[in-house]
Amino acid sequence: MKNISIIGIGLIGSSIARSIKSIFPELNIEIIDHSKNHLEKSKELNLGNEYKLSIDNNISKSDVVFVCAPLSSYEEIFDNIQKHLANDKTIITDVGSSKLQIIELAQKKLKNKKFVPGHPIAGTEHSGPQSGFKDLFLNKWFISTPCDLCSEKELNVINDLWKNMGAKIEIMDAKNHDSIMAITSHIPHLIAYNIVGTANDLGESIKSEVIKFSASGFRDFTRIASSDPTMWRDIMLSNKDEILSLLNKFNDDLKGLIEAIKSGDGDYLFERFKKTKNIRQKILEEDKNKS
C-alpha cells in the first residue's frame, strides 16, 4: 500500500490521517475536502501530503479511499468517484453511522468498483480537523458490514488497516448494525437534542438559571447535544426506519411513565427504574473484560 485518499477531514477523517501517518510514515495521504478552511488547517497540522478541494483523476492512484464526509454528501461523492476512478482495484471504504441506505446507494452509483462499508464506534462531541487525534480508535470497535461490492480480500485489507489503528473488529449485517446504533447512539442523540432544545425555548431568565445550576443529567445531555448538527441531521434521515420504529416504543414507554406520575403509581415507577440498573452493571462488566 502506497497511497490513500481521505475524503472529508473532520474529526474521524483527521484521526485516520494521524493514526495511519504514525503507523506508515512512508504512505502518501491525499486529503480532499470542499472546505478551504479545513484544508488549510490540515496543512498547518501536517495531516497529509496532498490537499484537494475536489476529487480528480489523481484518486486512481490510491489503494484505499476513505469516505469520512456527512451522509448527505455521499451521493455526490460516489458520483465523483465513479467519474474519476479509472480502475477496479482501489478499495473505497467509509465510516458512516448508518449502513443500509449507504450500501443501497453504493450499489446504484459505484459500477465495477470495490466498496467496503464500515463504522468505527468512536467519536467525541467536537468536530473539525483540529479535533481528531491519533488514538481515537484505540480499543474501540470497528463494525464491518460487508456487501456484494467487496470480496473477502478487500474486507481483510480494510479490517487490517483498522486493526493497525488499534480497533477491534466486528463483522455484522447492515440492518442489525442500524438497529443497534438506533438505540445506542441515534435515539440518545435525538433525545438529548430535544431536551436541550426544550430548555433553550424557555424564557431567558429561567434559561440562565438552568445554565447556572445544570448538574449531571442535563449537563451530559448538553455535551451530547453539542455534536455536529450536519452529521446528526444526516444520520436521522439515513437511518429513518429503525429510528422511527424504536421511537414508537420509546414513546409508548414514556406514556406509561407519565400515566404513573399522573396517577401516583409509585410501584410502577419503582419497578421501571429498578430494571435499568442491570444494563449498567453489564456494561461495566464488559469494560472490565476489555481491560
Tally of CB atoms within 10 A around 246: 17
Strands lying side by side in the sheet with 118-120: 118-120, 141-144, 168-171
Least distance (Å) between residue 190 CB and a second copy: 6
Residues 46-85 contacting a second copy, CB under 8 A: 72
Contacting range for a second copy; rule: CB under 8 A; set: 46-54, 77-85, 100-108, 121-129: 121-129
Shortest CA distance to 269 belongs to which of 250, 280, 256? 256
Length of the chain: 291
261 is a contact residue toward a second copy (CB under 8 A)? yes
Least distance (Å) between residue 141 CB and a second copy: 6
Residues 151-170 contacting a second copy, CB under 8 A: 170
48 versus 96: smaller Cβ distance to a second copy: 96
Tally of CB atoms within 10 A around 286: 9
278 is a contact residue toward a second copy (CB under 8 A)? yes
Calculate the alpha carbon distances from 267 to 114, 250, 272, 279 in Å.
56, 20, 9, 20
Q: Using CB under 8 A, pick the residue from 152, 277, 288, 291 that binds a second copy.
A: 277
Calculate the alpha carbon distances from 260 to 97, 219, 254, 257, 267 in Å.
35, 26, 10, 5, 9
2 versus 282: smaller Cβ distance to a second copy: 282
Contacting range for a second copy; rule: CB under 8 A; set: 37-45, 59-67, 79-87, 119-127: 119-127
Residues 202-221 contacting a second copy, CB under 8 A: 202, 206-207, 209-221
